[in-house]
Chain A
Amino acid sequence: MSVPTTLRCLVRPSVPRHVPRQVAVVWAAPFSTTASLAANPPKKKASAQMASIRSGKKMQLGKFKKKAPGGRTGKSPLPGERKAVRKRIQLSNSNALPVPGLAELTSEYMADKVNAGTVVSLPGTVQDELRVIEAFKPTQYWGMFRNPSMLVRSETVDLIGRMQDSAEKKQTLKLVVSGDRLTGKSMLLLQGMAHGLLNEWIVINIPEAQELTTASTEYAPIPGTDPVQYMQNNYALKLVQAVRKANEKTLTRLTTAYSHPELPQNIPINSTLMQLANSAKEADSAWYVFHALWQELMAKGQGRPPILLTLDGLQHIMKVSDYRSAAYNPIHSHDLALVRLFTDCLAGNHQFPGGGAVLAATSRGNAPRVPSMELALSQRAAEQAGAEIPKHDPFFRDYDTRVEASLKKVQVLKVSGVSKLEARAVMEYWAASGVLRKTVDEATVTEKWTLGGHGVLGEMERASLLTMRP
């Protein structure tokens, strides 16, 4: 050791060295320090490497600078608000010109062959009722015209004729509306519902079958059922309330035939069905109220009116649902009680006392592929046409016997494009509303008819009502 260094050791330091004292004294049980350590975690010491980095400066490696992350400002919408905006249905456009002299829909209008190929407007009361049972879809072009109006096509006359026949004979029409995309299947259901409402049928509509099976609504097993069936109380509540509002006049007229001890509210015999429907106030008992209402509607010898049961998006209830049982096994859609009720009606297991119809429409926009349903419908269509009946694919094993059993007795109504005369009628309505700014002549009608895939109405709407067609 050199001399100056050794001498320096003897010099007393002028500035006393600061000795950091241990200040954190933890009073805790001697055998466990975990909680207190978690409460006051020891601070990490800044390592030598970290200290060398100057704060706020970083080496720029890329050519472009990254933007500072900008958070969303403002209040975010409440739950359900966005969906409400997306699903909003507008039925009127005050800018469109009124079409004077347009016939208004009456109870017999759509059954008359002479009226095929005419445009008819919906009366206000029917509009309200159809809106309650969600017959209008947000993708339809109602919002472009002054008043909701629709084309009565030959398929409509056909369907309404069959409905009337079955009601007169007190039979149940079981029919599946099928066809290509945008051909007007849901529209045909809507026309059936409008006819039912005007003729004082009881109309029950399931607007989107996928709401029942995509595990988006609550479910619970029904006690005492074997094999276990499941009720969907929230959906049942919505359905009962819609049925009550849409069929108020008819339900007030009818009276109960049975006592219903399982209901929380006492409904004596001979009270109105409206009272029964009104007792669905909470979701807990909604399924039982719906079941009781259905039993009442099925009561024989009570002068029950015809019933119309409709469902859109048939594929969704013809497959295994997204729900799971208590043992975590997938639940078949037909084990859901509400779906079971519909498929039983479609299979012809329920005879409506006053006659009526069970209508289902397939969907092409958003629907799973169900080979059993497709096969069954093509078989029924071939049977009706007298053609060769298609057979099972022997190399395919995922056919569903329950689905095939439910579609054994249905009639199939194929919907395709409209004829040129019908296309002309609807285009004249568009032009008279001021939405289509063109002369409606033979050439225009043919042009749009051809652009719309030989009269597919939805495509014709896109070709003529949208200024720019994506």
Chain B
Amino acid sequence: MHPKLNIWSACRALSVRSRPIFHWPQQCTAAAQARSIWIDSPSTSQRFPDQNASNLHPFDVSPSAQEPAPSENDVALSQLQMAAYGLDPFDPEVEGHKFGMPSLPLPRDLHHKHRYDSVVVQLTKLLMRDGKLSKAQRDMAMILNYLRTSPPPKVSPLRPLLPGSPAPSQLPLDPVLYLTLAIDSVAPLVRMRAYKGMAGGGRSLEVPVPLEARQRRRTAFQWILDVVNKKPTKGSGRAMFPNRVAEEIVAVVEGRSGVWDKRQLMHKQGTAARANLNNPQLRKKGQ
């Protein structure tokens, strides 16, 4: 019978052990987790300086000083004991992994090709010129840093952002959210599609077509870039283009940007042309 299935071995495994059966390589993990701080936990502020003063100087903390390393004999003995208790001493969950095995399936951001937010990746590629992705990424990092350091936006009631958006004071510390909110708020819902000659007399038939989320973001960001490219430069250096983009994004959130008018115009055209959806020719084409 396999030892794991033996009920007595399981009882033995539950018994009180006088000494540790296995030397856990991760000595300070528990302490570290106890000390770990969450940015929004209220206890952070009290705990932070104390740790610094008491625990965090490298001179008197050395693992070898605290406990002598176990000899090979001890390790072998503990492995034998584990085998006796019905546990696998070479289980990959236990042996050879300092931080344990990752839980599967892996979260999206652990894959190096998907490590950034999808909106940020899309907008970065729209920023890219001449195939220079690395430069575009640096520009995007600077845009996000600008948003992080600029004062909280004053949202205009005339140009409301997406419903359910957080308070403006919370936006700068989450620049990705700030950017996403700005883009999604001005993104148009439809685009106009022209069917040539279908309106009769050689005129084209304008029909509104709904857009996917990615398409909407792309349109909105292209509009923003159009505005940015028409702005005069204010200085030289690598931070200047990103600064202009970031200023326009702040202007969008504050309702000052001309991009809002473009969106409104597009929606107006869509509303006016929606009757064209019932055009018999179009229906015929659809069939």
Contact = CB atoms under 8 A, between A and B. Distances in A.
B171 to A, nearest CB: 9
A428 B144 contact: no
By size class, the interface of chain A is: 35 or more
A154 B58 contact: yes
Contact of B51 (A93, A96, A428, A470): A428
A99 interface: yes
A90 B39 contact: no
Interface stretch (B11-19, B146-154, B200-208, B256-264): B146-154
Q: What's the dominant secondary structure at chain A's contact region?
A: loop
A405 to B, nearest CB: 38
Nearest to A99: B48
A86 B138 contact: no
B164 interface: no
A467 B150 CA distance: 16
A90 B149 contact: yes
Contacts of B174: 437
B116 A424 contact: no
Nearest to A429: B48
Interface string B43-85: 0111011111100111101000000000000000000000000
Interface in A128-149: 143-144
A101 interface: yes
A62 B188 CA distance: 37
A82 B61 contact: no
A117 B52 CA distance: 7
A103 B49 CA distance: 7
A74 interface: yes
A263 interface: no
B232 interface: yes
A117 B177 CA distance: 33
Contact of B116 (A86, A90, A118, A468): A468
B37 A85 contact: no
Contacts of B135: 470
Contacts of A95: 148-152, 172-173
Greatest chain A CB density within 10 A among B52, B137, B239 is at: B52
B36 interface: yes
Contacts of A189: none
Contacts of B250: none
Interface in A257-309: none
Nearest to B29: A442
Greatest chain B CB density within 10 A among A72, A93, A422 is at: A93
Interface residues of B, number: 54
B141 A469 contact: yes
B32 interface: yes
B237 interface: yes
Contacts of B39: 97, 431-432, 434, 436-438
Contacts of A116: 57-59
A72 B232 contact: yes
Nearest to B138: A470
Interface string B227-248: 0000011111101100000000
A466 B236 CA distance: 22
B37 A428 contact: yes
A82 B173 contact: no
B7 interface: no
Nearest to A118: B52
Contacts of A438: 39
A144 B48 contact: no
B149 A467 contact: no
Interface string A440-470: 1111001000000000000000000011111
A468 B173 contact: no
A100 B151 contact: no
A440 B34 CA distance: 11
B37 A101 contact: no
B175 interface: yes
Contact of A425 (B26, B44, B56, B232): B56
A467 B180 CA distance: 14
A51 interface: no
Contacts of B144: 466-468
B176 interface: yes
A101 B45 contact: yes
A381 interface: no
B237 A82 contact: yes
A468 B120 contact: yes
B24 interface: no
A467 B59 contact: no
A25 interface: no
Given A86-B239, A95-B173, A101-B45, A466 B141 contact: yes
A94 interface: yes
B134 interface: yes
Given A95-B151, A116-B59, A432 B44 contact: yes
Interface string A414-426: 0000010110110
B161 interface: no
A82 B29 contact: no
B148 A435 contact: yes
A421 B37 contact: no
A100 B45 contact: yes
Interface string A63-96: 0000000001110010001110110001001111
Given A85-B240, A102-B48, 17 more contacts: A72-B232, A85-B234, A90-B149, A95-B172, A99-B45, A101-B50, A113-B59, A116-B57, A143-B149, A144-B148, A421-B61, A432-B37, A432-B48, A435-B173, A446-B99, A467-B175, A468-B124
15 contacts: A94-B151, A95-B150, A95-B173, A96-B173, A97-B39, A101-B50, A103-B49, A144-B148, A421-B57, A425-B52, A437-B173, A443-B99, A467-B117, A467-B141, A469-B141
The 9 A-B residue pairs whose C-beta atoms are closest, nearest first, are: A470-B138, A85-B235, A95-B172, A101-B49, A470-B137, A74-B232, A86-B237, A82-B235, A441-B36
Interface of A: 72-74, 77, 81-83, 85-86, 90, 93-97, 99-103, 113-119, 143-144, 154, 419, 421-422, 424-425, 428-429, 431-432, 434-443, 446, 466-470
